[in-house]
Chain A
Amino acid sequence: MSDRATITRFPEIREPLLRARSAAGKNTRPCPAPFDAADPADLDIAEKLPDIPDVSEVETVRHFTRLSRLNYGIDHGMYPLGSCTMKYNPKISEELARRFQAVHPADTRAMNTVLGYCALLQGYLREICGMDACCLWPAAGAHGELTGMMTIKKAVERSGGARTKVLIPDTAHGTNPASCTIAGFTTENIPSGKQGYLSASTLREHLDGHVAALMITNPNTLGIFEREIQEIARLLHDNGSYLYMDGANLNAILGIARPGDMGVDCMHINLHKTFGTPHGGGGPGSGPVLVTKELERFLPSPVIVCDDSGNHSLNWDRPDSIGMVHSCLGNVNVLIRALVYLLSLGGEGLREVSLRAGLNANYLKSRLSRCFDLPLDTPTLHEFVLSDRYQKEHGVTTMDMAKALMEFGFHPPTVYFPLVVPGAIMVEPTETESLEELDRFAQAMETIAAMSRENPQTLHETPQACPVKRVDEVWAARNLVLTWGAGESNEEDPVSK
């Protein structure tokens, strides 16, 4: 282990649960509180004291500070989690969004400003995607998918059709079939073929009078642009079906290609991926839905309207709408962050985002394909997929290598996804990494590849320098414990079993 440039940034001691530090009477405050939570007489409704740990202020602060040091985030280093787009979140977005935290939804004057910003963001998103209408309210990508599929469902019902089926290529995100099912469709998986994209001829074989839509991600989860997308759109429209695009990978084509020009009828955007707002435990997401003119009347209520004097308000009078999908303007703070991101980059800057994301990914791909198997040689954009085929000859798997990367101070890439590549390692560096950081990552991967030949046993035992070592995932999956009961000992530690 000594030949490795390991990074130890973890405290020596293991942080127990706050409950383990609890003891009666510890909670003494240095300054008086407005009421005494320990005295039930001061509380109007409580029948008994809440079952929370009795700890002092300093213990509480240290507990959470220590836990935060065990965490890893984009502010620590590179987070190459493929398809999740963990790019750096600019602090200017945080700063400006913070100024709107105290706005109350009933404050009409302040809300006029906020609604104006929402309308501005809608306009930019429509322009970027080449779509006619936009709804900002869905709270996350999968929520956007569901909203989009419900919109299509309503359109299908209104046209009197009995179309019930949605086609989904095998390179799709796992949420796609789930969203379709909840929206009331059945799904059919279609193969994307050896070249890693869906061919129009394959689609043709699956089209019939039952197909309501095709749900495709472009570029797909292999990082490959769906080059037959326009022909695919034509086939679908001739068949009376809609084209839904999962915009999870929109960050690869900003200012370069527009879904509307590809023939897309309905799509969602992940603001938290493409437009640099926090996610992955770091904050709520946002999944705006964009549609063509034809589908606009089915979009969720309310919609933002602007009168002649420039005042914005919400219009709820929409008889054809699928209804409300989120209260109070969705995750409005994320919307403001995304707007700041857009405005600070401008049109040319956004295009640069996609070009650099592609450049960074292709630099890493060309370097790493010297020591890792690259299962498809079709050109890729912002991300790429390797496999563990070479390392498996030495008994080293994708999971071993993902765990080992943590020792080098990197978050592991996405593993075992997409399912079309066995032992997949999906890398998305994003545009926000410097050449130095990319080189550091490539070096770590090359060291791991060398270790898999010379000392495979070591890799099975990684990580050693992290606060939690190799977790027994099989044991955890077979013995699900989903609740923490009061009184359970902190020594009860499934990790070490």
Chain B
Amino acid sequence: MNIPDDLLYTQDHEWGRIEDGTLRVGITDYAATELGDIVFVEFVEKGSHVAKGEAFGTIESVKAVSEVYAPASGTVTQINEPLADTPELLNQDCYGDAWMVVIEMDDPSEVKDLMDAPAYEEFLAQEAK
């Protein structure tokens, strides 16, 4: 299971990367693998405000439909538009080209609640039990 060291993680299997007060967000390798082949993604509109833990989009695989939740509160300033036409990228490069949105955080200190890579790895191990 690929869990990059430089990212932060939620219990709902989203990752976040801090970039100058903004947070780039996607889903983890674990989430993409568990969902299976992803066939559809849809996000809130650019400029929307999302609260921490609130859904900012929907992912659909052949198995299930899930929501993706904001790791921190803020305004969605960028959306990965090409992902709508190439949802399979999420199964190929979830930490790279398949990022989902960029959130301009209301309170950048909120990220302290997120897990680092070793903590997320431990969380996954606990979940598997």
Residues of A within 8 A of B (CB): 416-417, 419, 422, 473-474, 477-478
Once the chains are docked, how many angstroms separate the CA of A419 from the CA of B66?
10
Asked whether, in the complex, the Cβ of B62 is within 8 Å of the Cβ of A477, the reply is yes
Identity of the chain B residue whose Cβ is nearest the Cβ of A174 in the assembled complex: B65
Per-position contact with A for B47-70: 1 when CB-CB < 8 Å, else 0?
A: 000000000000010111010000
- The interface residues of chain B lying within 8 Å CB-to-CB of A419 are 64, 66
Identity of the chain B residue whose Cβ is nearest the Cβ of A194 in the assembled complex: B129
Asked whether, in the complex, the Cβ of A474 is within 8 Å of the Cβ of B39, the reply is yes
Identity of the chain A residue whose Cβ is nearest the Cβ of B65 in the assembled complex: A174
Instruction: Name B62's contact: one of A417, A422, A473 (CB within 8 Å).
Output: A473
- The interface residues of chain B lying within 8 Å CB-to-CB of A478 are 39-40, 87-88
Once the chains are docked, how many angstroms separate the CA of A474 from the CA of B62?
6
Indicate if B121 sits at the interface (CB-CB under 8 A).
no
- The interface residues of chain B lying within 8 Å CB-to-CB of A422 are 34
Identity of the chain A residue whose Cβ is nearest the Cβ of B91 in the assembled complex: A474
Identity of the chain B residue whose Cβ is nearest the Cβ of A415 in the assembled complex: B63
Residues of B within 8 A of A (CB): 34, 37, 39-40, 60, 62-64, 66, 87-88
Least CB distance, B64 to chain A, in whole angstroms: 6
Once the chains are docked, how many angstroms separate the CA of A301 from the CA of B64?
37
Asked whether, in the complex, the Cβ of B64 is within 8 Å of the Cβ of A474, the reply is no
Asked whether, in the complex, the Cβ of B63 is within 8 Å of the Cβ of A477, the reply is no
Instruction: Name A477's contact: one of B34, B40, B64, B66 (CB within 8 Å).
Output: B40
- Between A and B, 10 residue pairs with Cβ closer than 8 Å are A416-B64, A417-B64, A473-B62, A474-B88, A477-B37, A477-B39, A477-B60, A477-B62, A478-B40, A478-B88
Once the chains are docked, how many angstroms separate the CA of A51 from the CA of B59?
39
Once the chains are docked, how many angstroms separate the CA of A416 from the CA of B61?
11
In order of increasing CB-CB distance, the 3 nearest A-B pairs are A477-B39, A416-B63, A474-B37
Least CB distance, B74 to chain A, in whole angstroms: 21
Least CB distance, B82 to chain A, in whole angstroms: 14
Once the chains are docked, how many angstroms separate the CA of A303 from the CA of B83?
52
Once the chains are docked, how many angstroms separate the CA of A422 from the CA of B36?
11
Once the chains are docked, how many angstroms separate the CA of A478 from the CA of B88?
9
- The interface residues of chain B lying within 8 Å CB-to-CB of A417 are 64
- The interface residues of chain A lying within 8 Å CB-to-CB of B64 are 416-417, 419
Most chain B CB atoms below 10 A, which of A419, A422, A478 = A478
Most chain A CB atoms below 10 A, which of B40, B63, B66, B88 = B63
- The interface residues of chain A lying within 8 Å CB-to-CB of B62 are 473-474, 477
Least CB distance, B30 to chain A, in whole angstroms: 11
Once the chains are docked, how many angstroms separate the CA of A39 from the CA of B37?
52
- The interface residues of chain A lying within 8 Å CB-to-CB of B37 are 473-474, 477
Least CB distance, B124 to chain A, in whole angstroms: 12
Least CB distance, A426 to chain B, in whole angstroms: 13
Once the chains are docked, how many angstroms separate the CA of A138 from the CA of B86?
40
Least CB distance, A177 to chain B, in whole angstroms: 11
- The interface residues of chain B lying within 8 Å CB-to-CB of A416 are 63-64
Once the chains are docked, how many angstroms separate the CA of A478 from the CA of B63?
13
Once the chains are docked, how many angstroms separate the CA of A419 from the CA of B34?
11
- The interface residues of chain A lying within 8 Å CB-to-CB of B63 are 416
Query: 7 additional contacts, CB 8 Å, given A419-B66, A477-B60, A478-B40?
Result: A416-B64, A419-B64, A422-B34, A474-B37, A477-B37, A477-B39, A477-B40
